[in-house]
Amino acid sequence: MGSLSLQRLYILDTDLSNIPQQRGRILSCYPDGGDLRTVIGDMATMPDGITIDHAKGHMYWTNMGQTFKQNDGSIERANLDGSDRRTIVPSGTVGVFTPKQITLAPQSRKLYWCDREGMKVMRCNLDGSDVEVLVSTGSTAEDRLDLLKWCVGITVDESRGYFYWTQKGHSKGSEGRIFRARIDAPSEVEVVFDKLPEPIDLEIDEETQTLYWTDRGDPPSGNSVNRAFVGADADAKSGFQREVIARRLHETIGLTVDKASGVAYVTDLSGGVYAVNIAKKEKTVLFPELGDLTGIALA
């Protein structure tokens, strides 16, 4: 990715406050908040999750759609400067209702994402072909009313052959769970954490086997950034040990971890963008109120 000065954050603004006339944006800046610019604007489709293909210089993002009540979500791709924008998974695709966090598995070159009201964990090729449902927690309109079935965050550990996802539960309900399943056997589901306030986005450091996640639930455990060691030496049956590395956020959503510098970049729905020094557990405010923010990625 080059030196720090060449890195850029990509931040999604859903403009949720202005529904039904929302005009979301994809913003970009340096990791210190400098050189803020709009890469793509005037987005009525509520962008939510974003991931970067570092090898090709592309960004992929999910759109929840213009409402949460119909099967109108989609996935798009563009160059990092916003050019050559194209839809790879169009609205109306089976299972794609309100796609949320998205991640790229670099070895298999597959996109993985969670769909909230669609109640699915899904994947496809980078061109949008071969769309697959890996996990389905429900299928009917009645199922959709059960927030325990809503899938939100996603990350993939190709080194050990797992994918992880969150099911957030009711707002501030302490019903949130983090699951994992084998990539080659997705029906073999394991609960990693339960009774969390409201877990949202995920990221894993494959080298250290550390799982990171945001939680938008109530304090003291919620509105936080968290981590846990989930490697082979950890005991899932007796419970993984969760550690809070940042608190006092405001409906925290997006997460990306710069493993080289030991910094987690986080967004919250109230518009904050933060840089969290993981070792010191100190957060710096990059922007206090930038928009109605969701996903974040580092390129």
Of the given ranges (23-27, 97-101, 104-108, 171-175), which has the lowest mean pLDDT?
171-175
Which residue did the predictor score with more confidence, 122 or 95?
122
Q: What is the pLDDT of residue 172?
A: 86
DSSP for 15-55 reads -GGGTTS--EEEEEE-TTS-S-EEEEEEE-S-EEEEEEETT
Query: How far apart, in whole angstroms, are the C-alpha atoms of residue 53 and residue 80?
Result: 9
Residue 44 neighbours by CB distance under 10 Å:
14
Q: What is the pLDDT of residue 41?
A: 98
> Which domains does the chain carry?
46-298 (2.120.10.30)
Tens digits of residue pLDDT in 245-298: 999 999 999 999 999 999 999 999 999 999 999 999 999 999 999 999 999 999
How is residue 170 written in tokens?
Answer: 């009711």
This prediction has a pTM of 0.95
Question: Residue 199 in contact with residue 176, Cβ under 8 Å?
Answer: yes
Q: What is the pLDDT of residue 6?
A: 84
**Quick check: 234 pLDDT over 90?**
no
Of the given ranges (79-83, 163-167, 169-173, 283-287), which has the lowest mean pLDDT?
169-173
Question: Residue 57 in contact with residue 44, Cβ under 8 Å?
Answer: no
How is residue 113 written in tokens?
Answer: 């994402």
Confidence tier at 235 by pLDDT (50, 70, 90): low
Confidence tier at 71 by pLDDT (50, 70, 90): confident
Mean pLDDT of 95-118: 96
